[in-house]
Structure 1
Amino acid sequence: MHQIEFRDLTIFIKVAETGNFREAAEATFLSQPALSRRIQRLEEVLGTQLFERTTRKTKLTAVGREFLPKARRMLEEFELSILGIKDMASQQKGSITIACIPTAAFYFLPSVIKAFNEKYPGIRIKILDESANQGLESVIQGDADFGINMAIAQHSEVSFTPLLDDPFVVCMRKDHALAELKEVSWKDLEPYRLISVGRSSGNRLLLDKSIVRDQVNLNSFYEVQHLSTSLGLVETGLGLSIVPKLAMPIGTHSMLTSRPLTGVQIDRSIGLVKRNATPVSPSADLFIQILLEQWSSN
Structure 2
Amino acid sequence: MRFQNGMSQVLDPLRLRLLVEVGRHGSIAGAAVACGLRQPSATKHLQTLEAAVGQPLVRRTSRGSQLTEAGRVMSQHAARMLGTLRAMEDELRALRDGEIGSLSIAASTTPGAYVLPSVLKCFAERHPGVDVTLAIGPSDRVVEQVARREVQLGLAGETAATPGVVVEPFLDDELVGIVAPGAHRASRMTVAELAARTLLMRERGSSTRATAERYLASVGYTPVKVWEIDSNEAIKRSVAAGLGVAFVSRLVAEDELARGELAEFAVTGVHPMSRPILLLRADDSHLTPAQQAFIATLTDCCASSIAACVVPS
- Bin of the TM-score, shorter chain as denominator length: 0.5 to 0.7
For residue 286 of structure 1, report the CA deviation from its aligned partner. Answer: 0.7
**What is residue 206 of structure 1 aligned with on the other side?**
211
Write the distance in 1 (CA, Å) between the matches of 2:226 and 2:158.
28
**What is residue 139 of structure 1 aligned with on the other side?**
146
Q: Which amino acid aligns with 1:222?
A: W
Ranges in structure 2 where 5+ consecutive residues have no aligned partner: 1-6, 8-88, 306-313
Q: Which has the larger radius of gyration?
A: 2
Ranges in structure 1 where 5+ consecutive residues have no aligned partner: 1-28, 30-81
Relative to structure 1, is the Cα distance of residues 185 and 85 closer, same or farther in structure 2, using a 3 angstrom cutoff? farther
For residue 293 of structure 1, report the CA deviation from its aligned partner. Answer: 2.5
State the Cα deviation string for residues 213-251 of structure 1 (Å, max 9, x = none).
321243324222333332232122111112222222535
Matches within 5 A, 1:1-298: 86-89=93-96, 92-176=99-183, 178=184, 180-248=185-253, 250=255, 252-253=258-259, 255-263=261-269, 264-298=271-305
Write the distance in 1 (CA, Å) between the matches of 2:301 and 2:238.
35
Q: Which amino acid aligns with 1:219?
A: V
Number of matched pairs = 216
TM-score (norm 2): 0.61
DSSP 3-state at the match of 1:165: strand
Relative to structure 1, is the Cα distance of residues 186 and 165 closer, same or farther in structure 2, using a 3 angstrom cutoff? farther
The answer to which of 277-286 and 252-261 deviates more is 252-261
Q: Which amino acid aligns with 2:200?
A: I
| Aligned Cα root-mean-square deviation (Å) | 2.7
DSSP 3-state at the match of 1:103: helix
8 Å CA contact 2:175, 2:273 repeated in 1: yes
Q: Which amino acid aligns with 1:233?
A: S
Give the fraction of aligned pairs with identical amino acids, expressed as a percent.
Answer: 22
8 Å CA contact 2:158, 2:207 repeated in 1: no
TM-score (norm 1): 0.64
For residue 141 of structure 1, report the CA deviation from its aligned partner. Answer: 1.7
Write the distance in 1 (CA, Å) between the matches of 2:273 and 2:291.
32
For residue 139 of structure 1, report the CA deviation from its aligned partner. Answer: 1.2
Q: Which amino acid aligns with 1:232?
A: R
